[in-house]
Amino acid sequence: MRQLIAISAFLLLAGGVSAGNDIRLVFADASHRLGRPNVANLDLGVISHGASRQQGGTRVTKRIRVVAETDAKERRTARLSAWTDGTETRCRVRINGIALSAVPVVVDPMMPVGVGVEYTIELEVPRDASAGALAEAITWNVETH
């Protein structure tokens, strides 16, 4: 018997900056900007667990581009961190293979400012996850060096 569970996945990307920074985070996918500076929505669509699902569940990946924009003239680098709020227990989120939790982790220690950098967001939904809408917020923080 084939089991089919549908989960609608949605991620909120929210950027922040440390005090004193003049940087904005801009999120984009392959074709366009995903939202206004520091906030974006990423719809991963419907995830279906079927007979072909992996042992641990289903994984969905999405490539996004993040730009740390600034009005400053000099080129700098920045440390990019990210975390989730931890309220959604039916999934695991990774950025470039780095697992996110409620504790901030460094995603890119030397992100170039003013240049679009690609990151892979991976959402893993265990096979015992219940059907329904799934929403998770990823908070990003950028600090210049």
Could you give the CA distance from residue 106 to residue 19 in angstroms, rounded to a whole number?
Answer: 18
Query: Please, which pLDDT band fits residue 1 given cuts at 50, 70 and 90?
Result: very low
Could you give the CA distance from residue 92 to residue 7 in angstroms, rounded to a whole number?
Answer: 14
pLDDT at residue 111, rounded to an integer: 95
Question: Which tokens in the block code for residue 126?
Answer: 């265990």
Please write the tens of the pLDDT for every residue from 8-21.
666 676 766 554 56
Domains of the chain: 5-144 (2.60.40)
Task: Decide if pLDDT at 142 tops 50.
Answer: yes
Q: Which of 22-36, 63-77, 128-142 has the lowest mean pLDDT?
A: 22-36
Task: Decide if pLDDT at 102 tops 60.
Answer: yes
How do strand 39-49 and strand 5-17 relate by DSSP bridges? antiparallel
Q: Which of 33-37, 75-79, 112-116, 117-121 has the lowest mean pLDDT?
A: 33-37
Of residues 57 and 37, more confidently modeled:
57
pLDDT at residue 99, rounded to an integer: 96
Q: How far is CA 109 from CA 60, 66, 81, 115, 144, in A?
A: 25, 14, 8, 15, 10
Query: Please, which pLDDT band fits residue 119 given cuts at 50, 70 and 90?
Result: very high
